[in-house]
Amino acid sequence: MDMTERVSHNLYRSLVISMFTIFSAFWLYTYFFTKEQSDAYTLFTNTYGVFALIGGLFGIFAARKWGGFKSYLGKAILMLSFGLLFQEIGQLFYMYYIYVAHIEVPYPSLGDVGFFGSVLFYIYASFLLSKVAGADFSLKEHLSSKVEAIIIPLIILFLSYFFFLRGNTVELSQPIKTVLDFGYPLFQSVYVSIALVTYRVLRFTQGGMIRKDILLLLVALFMQYLSDFTFLYKTSRGTWVAGGINDYMYLVSYCLMTLAIMRLDGFLNKAKAGKENA
């Protein structure tokens, strides 16, 4: 690996890890030692999205080295990066509505273009990652993979139905809200199902140094799903608070995704350096 590239790569990673440590310490302080809706809560809520911004921008540059739109892996990184950036767009709109326009629950709003858009990007990203991981081949050859490819989505769909969909009603007077009420849990279950099936398929890939890097991306996608799931669960029961545990989950999720993309970039640099350095 070129020395300059190695130094800058390590620098970016150290920066993200240091920032994550500071944000985590700040959140712990806020959560345990300040009152809900304090200025510290507000500060945390309004700033942690910067991880999504950093990860998204880094990913767009990193994806170019993997061929960008011309390769499956390049496209997967681009989709994950767009997903992160759309999360940040959603965060910024919600921030505006809550703190500037003083709308307590800005749902549905322009912010949902960001949040729902990110779900669509994650669906396509998980599909592309499944291609890179060789899901097609495993599904053709292994009965256990076929069974899992049916059972996993069914379990996730059941969970979505049980926790979110069964209580939903179709409100014709609010078509966008109705579409989002059904759309969020359904579409989120699609990307996490593909990610989980791909995770199971990885056991048949018989090596490949990239395995761990793909695994980390899948873990990041799963963490994103857990965050989304918790958000829907808490908001549907009126227990969600800004700056609470769910916002910290989103911070972890953005950070994991950013580090996973950076790790893949490091993998590429090592692979390019080849035998002498790899």
Partner 1 sequence: MLDKYTQAVLKIIKEQESLIGPLALDLAKKSENIVFSNGAQVTINGNPIIALGDLVGQYNTLFGRTSVEVSKLAIKKSGESFTQEELPEILK
Q: Does 2 bind partner 1 (CB under 8 A)?
A: no
Which of the ranges 59-67, 94-102, 118-126, 154-162 carries the binding residues for partner 1, by CB under 8 A?
59-67
| Residue 1 binding partner 1, by CB under 8 A | no
Give the DSSP letter of residue 134: T
Q: How far apart are CB 193 and partner 1 at their closest, in Å?
A: 20
* Residue 142 interacts with partner 1 (CB under 8 A): yes or no: no
Asked if 216 is part of the footprint of partner 1 (rule: CB under 8 A), the reply reads no
Contact residue for partner 1 among 11, 25, 105, 271 (CB under 8 A): 271
> How far apart (Å, rounded) are the C-alpha atoms in residues 225 and 188?
7
263 interacts with partner 1 by CB under 8 A: no
* Contact flag: residue 72 with partner 1 (CB under 8 A): yes
Distance, in Å, from the CA atom of 93 to the CA atom of 90, rounded to the nearest integer, reads 5
Question: Contacts by 259-262 with C-beta closer than 8 Å and gap 24+?
Answer: 259/13, 259/16, 259/17, 259/216, 259/220, 260/213, 260/216, 260/217, 260/219, 260/220, 261/55, 261/58, 261/59, 261/62, 261/77, 261/80, 261/81, 261/217, 262/9, 262/12, 262/13, 262/16, 262/58, 262/62
Q: How far is CA 197 from CA 5, 148, 216, in A?
A: 34, 7, 14
Q: Is 208 a binder of partner 1 (CB under 8 A)?
A: yes
Indicate whether 58 belongs to the interface with partner 1 (CB under 8 A).
no
Tell me whether residue 66 or residue 122 sits nearer to partner 1 (CB atom): 66
- 74 contacts partner 1 (rule: CB under 8 A): yes
211 binds partner 1 (CB under 8 A): yes
Encoding tokens for residue 246?
Answer: 């769910």
Is 241 a binding residue for partner 1 by CB under 8 A? The answer is no
Nearer to partner 1, 177 or 212 (CB): 212
CB closer to partner 1 out of 101 and 143: 143
List of residues 6+ apart from 135 with CB closer than 8 A = 145, 197, 198, 201
Choice between 59 and 90, CB closer to partner 1? 59
Q: Which residues of the shown chain bind partner 1 in the complex (CB under 8 A)?
A: 65-68, 70-74, 131-134, 137, 204-211, 268, 271-272, 274-275
